[in-house]
C-alpha cells in the first residue's frame, strides 16, 4: 500500500533536485536572463601598470541558462606602441538581468571582467590577477 506513495515522493524529489541542479547560477530562473549570445565589438583600455589599449571582437557562441562561453579576439597596443594579437576563450555568468561577470584567458593570463549590460551595449572594468602589480582597465562593447 505504501509503495505508490513512496514512488511518487521519489519522483517529486528527483524533479526538485534536477530543477535545482539545472541552474546553479546566481539568477533564480533562466527566463530572467538576457541573452548575450552573438558578436560584440570590444574596446578596452589598460590603466595600470602601463597604459595600453585593446580592440577586437567578443563572440559569445553558447549560453546555457545564465552561463555563457565564447572567445575574445583583440589586437593589443602596448604602451611602447607595439601591437600583438591576442585570442582566448571566454567563460562567464549573468549575475542578474543587467550585470555580467566573465573571465577571459589572454596570453595565458586570466582577466576578470565585470560589466553592466544595457540593451545592445556593455561597459565595465577588468582586472588581470597575476602577481602583486595587476593590470587593470575598463572596457566597452557594442553588439554587432
Binding pattern for the stretch 99-138 against other proteins, x by CB under 8 A and - elsewhere: x-x-xxx----x-x-xxx-------xx-x-x-xxxx-xxx
Residues 6+ apart with CB under 8 A from 19: none
Site string for other proteins, 24-43 (x = CB under 8 A): xxx------------x----
Answer for which of 33, 40, 52, 54 binds other proteins (CB under 8 A) is 52
Q: How far apart are CA 130 and CA 109, in angstroms?
A: 7
Which of 16, 29, 47, 142 binds other proteins (CB under 8 A)? It is 47
Shortest Å distance, C-beta 29 to other proteins = 15
Give the integer Cα–Cα distance in Å for 98 and 43.
19
Instruction: Report which secondary-structure segment, H or E, holds 22.
Output: helix 3-22
Q: Kind and range of the H or E element at 26?
A: none
Residue identified by cell 601591437 is 83
Q: The cell 557562441 sits on which residue?
A: 61
> E strand or H helix at 90, and its extent?
strand 83-94
Residue 62 touches other proteins, criterion: CB under 8 A: yes
Residues that bind other proteins (CB under 8 A): 24-26, 39, 45-53, 57, 59, 61-62, 64, 66-67, 69, 71, 73, 75, 77, 79-85, 87-93, 95-96, 98-99, 101, 103-105, 110, 112, 114-116, 124-125, 127, 129, 131-134, 136-138
Amino acid at each position: 500500500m505504501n509503495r505508490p506513495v513512496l514512488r511518487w515522493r521519489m519522483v517529486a524529489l528527483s524533479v526538485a533536485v534536477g530543477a535545482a541542479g539545472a541552474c546553479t547560477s546566481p539568477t533564480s530562473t533562466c527566463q530572467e536572463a538576457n541573452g548575450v549570445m552573438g558578436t560584440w565589438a570590444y574596446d578596452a583600455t589598460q590603466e595600470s601598470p602601463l597604459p595600453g589599449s585593446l580592440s577586437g571582437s567578443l563572440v559569445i557562441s553558447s549560453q546555457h541558462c545564465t552561463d555563457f562561453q565564447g572567445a575574445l579576439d583583440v589586437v593589443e597596443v602596448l604602451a611602447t606602441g607595439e601591437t600583438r594579437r591576442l585570442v582566448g576563450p571566454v567563460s562567464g555568468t549573468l549575475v542578474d538581468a543587467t550585470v555580467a561577470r566573465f573571465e577571459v584567458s589572454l596570453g595565458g593570463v586570466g582577466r576578470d571582467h565585470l560589466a553592466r549590460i544595457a540593451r545592445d551595449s556593455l561597459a565595465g572594468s577588468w582586472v588581470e590577477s597575476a602577481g602583486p602589480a595587476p593590470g587593470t582597465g575598463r572596457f566597452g562593447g557594442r553588439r554587432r
